[in-house]
Amino acid sequence: AKENGRNSIQVFDPAMAENARQKLGRSEELRRAIERDEFVLHFQPQKDMTSGEIIGVEALVRWNHPTEGLVFPGEFIPLAEESGLIVPIGEAVLRKACGQAKKWQELGLPPVKIGVNMSARQFQEPGMIRHVAAALAESGLEPRWLEIEVTESLLMRDVQGAIMKMHELNALGVSLAIDDFGTGYSSLSTLKRFPLSRLKIDRSFIADIPDDADDMAITSAIVSLARILALDVIAEGVETEAQAHFLSEAGCHAIQGYLFSRPIPAEEMTRVMREGT
């Protein structure tokens, strides 16, 4: 232990040092992964509740690691956020997502919206609007087919700033969805000020339907809220017919979840879009 200042004693903690070393190694690896273009997108369909048609697909990033195989976002997005690498990763995701959506349209498939997740660091980054505009221009995708998903907690951090960014995205013609809706604390009056097109009901409210009466009440309330605000509403994490049935009765517009499909690679998604199953 070494003395540091008057009262505090800094103890060398080998576990903490090891942890820091691992993080450094991992972010170095992430940096290389960006250069080597090791990120791939998987896609999960979103179905219209009434027609049963695929109306959108969400792009979900995976890291195709040279030795570890597919690494899921939960394992590298937090570190990417911390290190700022989320900005170049997010740019790559935007380009790939817009490119793939355009490709599907060129194959003659019925056009669908492509949903792209954007994390806080990326949303707040000064070049964000420029990156979105560039991804659209490069791919030739019309902006109305791009939907950016941001979380409620991200928007609540700086409401005024978020509203300005959202207006800029809207001006490009891009639409916006609130992801994981219901887990944050946005008030009705704040929500009203966001230029949004859709709410995505968080999976945690769906998981225990139809056994949890509270969750069913909350879900119905979110659907009503969407109606009042004239927003589209989609439920994520729908795994069972019972959940889909409840959501249909509640008036939810669309659903996404393992009931229809897990996130799948682009080629598989192409087949699903062709066959509609």
**Using CB under 6 A as the criterion, which residues of the chain lie in contact with ligand C2E when the complex forms?**
44, 60-61, 72-74, 77, 90, 93, 117-119, 179-180, 203, 236-239, 257-258, 263
Residue 85: Cβ within 10 Å count: 19
Asked if residues 228 and 261 have their Cβ atoms less than 8 Å apart, the reply is: no
Closest approach, Cβ 150 to ligand C2E, in A, equals 9
Dihedrals φ, ψ of 260, to 5°?
-95, -45
Residue 212 binds which of Ca ion, ligand C2E, none (CB < 5-8 A, kind-dependent) = Ca ion
With both helix axes pointing from N to C terminus, report the angle between 86-106 and 128-139 in degrees, rounded to the nearest 10: 30
218 lines the binding site for Ca ion (CB under 5 A) = no
12 membership: H or E segment, kind and range:
none
Nearer to Ca ion by Cβ, of 31 and 40: the residue is: 40
149 lines the binding site for Ca ion (CB under 5 A) = yes
Closest approach, Cβ 136 to ligand C2E, in A, equals 16
212 lines the binding site for Ca ion (CB under 5 A) = yes
Nearer to ligand C2E by Cβ, of 119 and 216: the residue is: 119
Query: How far separated are the first and last CA of the chain, in Å rounded?
Result: 63
Place of tokens 């942890």: 19
Residue 29 binds which of Ca ion, ligand C2E, none (CB < 5-8 A, kind-dependent) = none
Closest approach, Cβ 265 to Ca ion, in A, equals 18
Nearer to ligand C2E by Cβ, of 182 and 237: the residue is: 237
Report the alpha-carbon distance of residue 160 to residue 145 in Å, rounded. Answer: 26
Judged by CB under 5 A, the stretch of 65-73, 113-121, 124-132, 188-196 that binds Ca ion is 113-121
Judged by CB under 5 A, the stretch of 44-52, 120-128, 206-214, 248-256 that binds Ca ion is 206-214
Strand-pair category, 9-10 with 254-255: unpaired
Closest approach, Cβ 61 to ligand C2E, in A, equals 4
Report the alpha-carbon distance of residue 277 to residue 273 in Å, rounded. Answer: 7
208 lines the binding site for Ca ion (CB under 5 A) = yes
Report the alpha-carbon distance of residue 93 to residue 60 in Å, rounded. Answer: 9
Dihedrals φ, ψ of 142, to 5°?
-70, 135
Mask 175-194, x = binds Ca ion (CB under 5 A)? ----xx--------------
With both helix axes pointing from N to C terminus, report the angle between 241-250 and 213-228 in degrees, rounded to the nearest 10: 40
State the residues that interact with Ca ion by CB under 5 A.
Answer: 117, 149, 179-180, 208, 212, 215
